[in-house]
Structure 1
Amino acid sequence: MVATKYLQMIFPVFNTKRTKEIFGVNPTITPVREEATNVKIHLFSYNATEFTEKHFTKVEDCFPFSNTSNITWINIDGLRKEDVEKVCQQFKIHFLLSEDILSVGQRPKMDEVDDVMFCLLNMLYTNKDAAVETEQISIALGKNFVISFQDDADRDVFDSLRSKLRVTGSKLRQTGADYLCYSLIDMIVDHYFVVMEKLSEQIEFIEEEIIRFGNARSLARINSMRKELIVLKRNVSPVRELVNGFIRSDNDLLEEKTTKYFKDVYDHIVQATDLVENYRDMMTSMQDLYLNKANMRLNEVMKVMAIVTCLMAPATVIGGIFGMNFDSIPAIHNKYGFLIAVSLMLFIPLWMIRIFRKRGWF
């Protein structure tokens, strides 16, 4: 960790391609989603006393669980248009929602269509370059079922939730599908703080680098971090409105006692939004700090050059006077004239240094 930290000081960070990735989102252009090569389906069917866990590769294998009295959670990793349309048709999810599921770069939102509550938000991660990566998560809540759609089959934050479902008598097993939906959203929101903690470490490193060095690399890191905070804000801030939609909803799919849990998620997302704003303010302050330090360094250089110029002025004047081509110059033929001139050239600057220090000029 220490070695990496100081290697980052040696090599500059310039990533202009990231700017295009962040700002190259055009909602008027229909994005093309690549079809997943592999689809993994993880199914849980449970109640207080019964529990079933299965893994499938075909969505049709899940259809027998669409009309059971148990709570069913289907997590689909890897999206194909045909599979999504089949699932939506089987579980009576509106085709507009299936379009949202297959969309790319959607803003986090919450909808209620027919007998299904739907929300879309992004799961956040950080890669080895401290860049924020996003994965779109779509969650459909219906009567006795929750279906979640993911792009990446290799990572998510739901492992602890799966472990709780396997425990007989856990709160998840005692509650309905609305509580399961809350738990999924809560885990995604809680993971935002993990991402922000990693970004805060990078911000601390940048601040230390500015104070110690304050070179062009520092400015590049500031710009790079500001881009990542834009991504963070774009994905975190709308979730506040999403969660508020669940709180204000009077849909029969949500039990009244579940509302207080969504209020807890709302508090967390408000806190996360405030932290993002604080990070952005810190980056702005760091940029000002960098510019102020650069100006101070320039002022110090100019002050040193001005002092050197002042100290050299007496020698220049004395040398210029006795170097003039006049026939009669006082003491021009004095045998001690050279020593007197050199002594004056040394004594006057020393006397000037004493005066400057006495007045606090350096």
Structure 2
Amino acid sequence: MQIDRHSQPQRPAKPTEEIEEDLFDYFYDQAGSVPGTLTIEADAQPSQIVLIDYNEAKVTRQVNLTPEACASYLDTDSVSWVDVLGLGSEDVLQGLGVVFKLHPLVLEDVVNVPQRPKVEDYGDQLVIITQMVMPKKKTDGFWIEQVSLVLGKHYLLTLQEEPERDCFKPVRRRIRQNKGIIRKFGADYLAYALWDAVIDGYFPVLEEYGDLIDELEDEVVINPTHKTLSKIYQIKRELLALRRAIWPQRDAISSLMRDKSSLISPEVQVYLRDCYDHAVQVIDIISTYRELASSLMDVYLSSVSNKMNEVMKLLTVISTIFIPLTFIAGVYGMNFNPQASPWNMPELNWYWGYPVCLLAMMAIALGLVYFFWRRGWFESFSKLKDD
């Protein structure tokens, strides 16, 4: 997802590689704009309407419907799920607003993405704004997009940014195969099932981040680089984006449980508790991973500091070995004439003076190396080489 402040609010479902600072901004209207104004992306996908009408006995599915064709399904005893894939057709969206009698502000929140997840009660309709995430298959990261649910007495209208992918396949399969109790309940249970699927979709994404953090822990300790620091920073930002997407949903579920709605039956209220628990679990996992990422930053700085200390230690050992050798070479490099005085370097006239000087320098160097080896300093150098 990416928000372009200079033109339109958002392009649909961008991968996390393109996440910038704009990701953390919600949609906002331009100053002085008329309430209910629809702002549609120029490259938004065309809207396609898919209708699934079911009861306990049968289920029917229709595609490529017009908004007017959905009107006959709104007042039936069966449950009608009107799924709108794509937000790029303004005429379709306006037609849905007329057929479903949507308030202009509802249609604005649905189309002008991203909105903060929330629940709004309009009496005969309940509007739920959620943020759906899905893991990418071939590369790291995730897709994120807004899903809007409009709950009526016998129908549920859902609007998605991206028509190619969502996390509702298990719900569709349960409806088609009549598994569980979904076809025994009304549209409120369907809304719960979809919302629960949205929240459960966070767990596969978080599993990937758990594995990535485990890999980074090894990398930070063994061979930290500047790329490691960039990875840690990117993980922290993406986890923050996930937290901003799920935290308001927990509050929305809590408000829906606290403020009773005539569109939510007491039986479904019980199931909302399970949905709330899942949201709390997601938030706890995200908070844990963010703390681990912050600790990785501290470990990275410690590893870099330790690595620098080992390098300085090696340079100190080398300098310590050559300091006495340099001293000897400096002393005998002075130009004093031994013929002028017996105190002016008589060693210069020795027959074996030069070999003795070299042997003395070698003995001092070897003695220092032996001393450092006995102290165990070279073991840390070998570990540094292996790293």
TM score, norm. by length of structure 2: 0.84
Instruction: Output one character per residue of 1:313-353: Cα deviation in whole Å (capped at 9) or x when no partner.
Output: 11111111111111221322111111111111111122223
Structure 2 partner of 1:34 = 41
Is the deviation greater in 337-346 or in 78-87? 78-87
1:113 partnered with 2:113: no
1:58 partnered with 2:59: no
Identity percentage over the alignment? 30
Matching residue within 103, 113, 129 for 1:104: 113
Structure 2 partner of 1:353 = 369
Rounded Cα–Cα distance in structure 2 between residues aligned with 1:329 and 1:140: 102
Rounded Cα–Cα distance in structure 2 between residues aligned with 1:26 and 1:142: 26
Structure 2 partner of 1:325 = 335
For the Cα contact (< 8 Å) 2:203–2:282, is it kept in 1?
Answer: yes
Matching residue within 178, 186, 203 for 1:176: 186
Spell out the pairing of 1:134-173 with structure 2 (5 A cutoff).
Answer: 134-168=144-178, 170-173=180-183
Structure 2 partner of 1:86 = 95
Is the deviation greater in 85-94 or in 184-193? 85-94
1:69 partnered with 2:77: yes
For the Cα contact (< 8 Å) 2:45–2:163, is it kept in 1?
Answer: no
Q: What is the CA-CA distance between 1:306 and the residue it aligns to?
A: 0.7
Q: In structure 2, do the counterparts of structure 1 residues 23 and 247 end up closer, same or farther at CA, with 3 Å as the change threshold?
A: closer
Structure 2 partner of 1:306 = 316
Instruction: Output one character per residue of 1:288-327: Cα deviation in whole Å (capped at 9) or x when no partner.
Output: 1111111111111111111111100111111111111112
Q: In structure 2, do the counterparts of structure 1 residues 117 and 224 end up closer, same or farther at CA, with 3 Å as the change threshold?
A: same
Residue aligned with 2:257, SS: helix
1:22 partnered with 2:23: yes
Structure 2 partner of 1:239 = 249
Q: In structure 2, do the counterparts of structure 1 residues 53 and 19 end up closer, same or farther at CA, with 3 Å as the change threshold?
A: closer
Q: Which amino acid aligns with 2:40?
A: R
For the Cα contact (< 8 Å) 1:66–1:90, is it kept in 2?
Answer: no
Structure 2 partner of 1:198 = 208
Q: In structure 2, do the counterparts of structure 1 residues 169 and 283 end up closer, same or farther at CA, with 3 Å as the change threshold?
A: closer
1:44 partnered with 2:45: no
RMSD after superposition: 2.2
Rounded Cα–Cα distance in structure 2 between residues aligned with 1:32 and 1:255: 35
Rounded Cα–Cα distance in structure 2 between residues aligned with 1:336 and 1:239: 89
Q: Which amino acid aligns with 2:162?
A: D
Matching residue within 318, 336, 348 for 2:352: 336
For the Cα contact (< 8 Å) 1:19–1:227, is it kept in 2?
Answer: no
For the Cα contact (< 8 Å) 2:39–2:111, is it kept in 1?
Answer: no
Q: What is the CA-CA distance between 1:25 and the residue it aligns to?
A: 5.1
For the Cα contact (< 8 Å) 2:26–2:113, is it kept in 1?
Answer: no
For the Cα contact (< 8 Å) 2:128–2:148, is it kept in 1?
Answer: yes
Structure 1 partner of 2:383 = none
Q: What is the CA-CA distance between 1:168 and the residue it aligns to?
A: 4.2
Count, aligned residues = 348
Question: Structure 2, unaligned stretches of length 5 or more?
Answer: 1-15, 338-343, 379-387
Q: What is the CA-CA distance between 1:83 and the residue it aligns to?
A: 2.2
Q: What is the CA-CA distance between 1:196 and the residue it aligns to?
A: 1.1
Is the deviation greater in 216-225 or in 115-124? 216-225
For the Cα contact (< 8 Å) 1:132–1:232, is it kept in 2?
Answer: no
Q: What is the CA-CA distance between 1:93 and the residue it aligns to?
A: 2.8
Structure 1 partner of 2:325 = 315
Instruction: Output one character per residue of 1:194-215: Cα deviation in whole Å (capped at 9) or x when no partner.
Output: 1111222222232233233211
Q: Which amino acid aligns with 1:305?
A: L
Q: Which amino acid aligns with 2:114?
A: G
Question: Structure 1, unaligned stretches of length 5 or more?
Answer: 1-14
Structure 1 partner of 2:7 = none
Spell out the pairing of 1:185-224 with structure 2 (5 A cutoff).
Answer: 185-224=195-234
